[in-house]
Amino acid sequence: MNKPLSFYRSYFLSKTMSFLRRRNSTDSSKTRIADPNIEKDGADDDDKKKDQYKIPQRRNSGSKKWSCWDNCCWFIGFICSIWWFCLFLYNTMPDSVPQFVTMAITGPLPDPPGVKLRKEGLTANHPVVLVPGVVTGGLELWEGRHCAEGLLGKRLWGGSFGEFYKRPLCWLEHISLDNDTGFDPPGIRVRPVTGLVAADYFATGYFVWAVVIANLAHIGYEEKSLYMAAYDWRLSFQNTEIRDQSLTRIKSNIELLVATHGGKKVVVLPHSMGVQYFLHFMKWVETPAPRGGGGGPDWCAKHIKAIMNIGAPFLGSPKSIALHFSIEVRDIAALRAQAPGLLDKDVLGLQTFKHLMRMFRTWDATFSMIPKGGETIWGGLDWSPETETVNNSAKKGTDNSTRNTGGNGNICDTKGVNYGRLISFSKDWAETHSSKIERVDFKHVAKGDKLTNSSNCDIWLEYHEMGNRAIKAVADHKVYTAGSILDLLHYVAPKLMARGASHFSYGIADDLDDPKYDQYKYWSNPLETKLPNAPDMEIYSLYGVGLPTERGYIYKVAPPSDCSIPFQIDTSVDGDSEDSCLRGGVFSGDGDETVPIISTGFMCAKGWRGKTRFNPSGIRTYNREYKHAPPANLLEGRGTQSGSHVDLLGNFALIEDVLRVAAGATGEDIGGDRVYSDIFKWSERINIKL
């Protein structure tokens, strides 16, 4: 029987109202706000009940306080969101957009050197060899422990450094060398990355050789005319040949480049520690086999047109002293002062400072950076080549004073500064005349009372074998020059220095014809070896100036604690004037932020200039300085006029010099010496037999 439509409408409404009453009844039983006197039937009662339920909720939410934690979370989230959004835009927008924005702000950009010189008609000519420095070359894993599973063939050093964050202790175990042998520990094989990618970028977005390679490509170079002489920069120079035959590979590749380019000689571009490595190579390649490469006494003359040394630490760097002594440099010491204890804490099982020191001290190549030439080069207790000292203390009872004689705009005030004192234990001892200083002979103080039981320490350093008496004796010696710094390092780390002394030397040869200088430990020291017999070859020293560069340190004894490094840079010490060269316990001189000018410039300014006993064939030498200028804006990145140690590889003026020489120009063609500092005046103050 068909029922009217009104019947179904009434039936549906009754069922709906019944369902709503049951639902509201259930909700009201779950809240304490419901009033038991309110009737539960009727739409009006339901509305009242809903109103009573909602009002308290609005009050509670409005009364909630905004905490500091909420602010921090929202701020971090906002910054991260902006960062990822910008990163997304950067990776998705066309390459022309950032260039257009830059041009809109700064005006038309100058042509890169390669583009500019190509327009002038310069083309690829001599093959080019690139020699990277310390830490800039990539290292990859070929065999590892269980903790390194899945990393075979992947980079441990360079790139993203992702494995350091994922498994730091495992990473440190594999990147460190064996303390006894100087090679990889048993069961581990880490080898250098090969090819141009070995050192084009140090980390993602941080160029090393990439800008130089790109500009060489602009004038016609390609991989067959370029060679990256990659090597394991952790090993001592001779050990790279023993383990990897790296020196033999360099010799073979240079011979191949010369043969495939119609006999044209190579232009070699070593950077940083690569400069010392190539000095070692030149002596090795002409030394008869089996001790050397057996290339004969004229190998360099036949195969090398020019060596353009970039940021060359020919005579070492004071930074190396601080790193070996306390694993500190200026920036690390400043960070330690801002966040006391942070770098000494055990974070995720990684005791930062002690692990870093243990790792660094296994890298034998770092010994090559210890200052060479002693007080003759670096200055003594009362003099240094960079400052002209007026000694009034003996007559008037006052401290000596110094005045800056630099010709580069006086980067800082050297009043009261004596760069010859590389380490001083207090500002007073750094300034007091030597006649008023009484020093303890620390070398004969026994190390009987150990600071701690080695079983209490996860990381065993030789400092743990020193007692309080030995630490006090080191501090009571008060000041250390380049003549006594080796004694200091031998005392605090005898095992370390015994290994280093077997591979490197730091003196000045009396007689270069003495057969002892045929040993490989002398080959990387330009003051203890001769340049090859290659009168047509040219040697350049290309380096930055105008940047504060570490030249000496003021130390203090750290508070005693188990497993600690007992010495720290005293960051509380500053000079007397606002522009003093003493800031945060560090004396600064002129240089490229890493290597002082006296180290980069002396050999080409005086030691090798003309025919000397170090340069018997009279190879022509040139000093080319690049005065630092910071980037004009953030869009310039690290700048095109930087004089900084690594950023110098992106300096347009330096790259133009390199390209012109590679295209066939001589040192005279590009203008000879170009000097802003007083390197020639400072060199004349160094009294050395030539």
Residue positions annotated with a catalytic role: 272, 592, 645
Q: Which amino acid is at 97?
A: V
* Helix orientation angle between 318-326 and 485-492, rounded to the nearest 10 degrees: 20
Between CA 170 and CA 363 the distance in angstroms is: 17
Under 8 Å CB-to-CB from 555, ≥6 apart: which residues?
325, 326, 423, 424, 425, 475, 567, 568, 569, 570, 585
Q: Which residues make beta-bridge pairs with 157?
A: 139
Q: What region, left, alpha or beta, does residue 509 occupy, with left being phi > 0 and alpha being psi -120 to 50 degrees? A: beta
641 neighbors 676 (Cβ within 8 angstroms): no
Q: Which residue has the tokens 């990776």?
A: 91
Between CA 406 and CA 388 the distance in angstroms is: 10
> 3-class SS at 538?
strand
Between CA 279 and CA 532 the distance in angstroms is: 10
**Cα dihedral value 667, 671, 676, 680, nearest 10:** 50
Q: What is the DSSP letter of 674?
A: B
Q: In what order do the strands lie in the sheet with 155-157?
A: 155-157, 139-143, 189-192
629 neighbors 642 (Cβ within 8 angstroms): yes
Between CA 5 and CA 7 the distance in angstroms is: 5
H helices, E strands: number in the chain = 24, 21
Between CA 672 and CA 445 the distance in angstroms is: 53
For every residue of 296-331, DSSP letters joined together read -TTHHHHHEEEEEEES--TT--HHHHHHHHHS--HH
In which element (H, E) is residue 25 found? helix 5-29
Bridge-based pairing of strands 266-270 and 128-131 is: parallel
- Measured CA to CA in angstroms, residue 371 lies from 366, 421, 625, 684 at distances of 11, 13, 21, 19
How many other C-beta atoms are found inside a 10 Å radius of the C-beta of residue 457? 17
Report the candidate in 594, 607, 368 with the shortest Cα–Cα distance to residue 508.
607
Q: Which residues make beta-bridge pairs with 267?
A: 128, 306
225 neighbors 128 (Cβ within 8 angstroms): yes
Bridge-based pairing of strands 538-545 and 304-310 is: parallel
Token output for 87:
């990163």
Residue 185: exposed, middle, or buried by beta-carbon count in 10 A (0-12, 13-18, 19+)?
middle
Q: Which residue has the tokens 């690290």?
A: 638
Between CA 461 and CA 578 the distance in angstroms is: 38
Whats the size of the chain, residue-wise?
A: 690
Between CA 394 and CA 626 the distance in angstroms is: 40
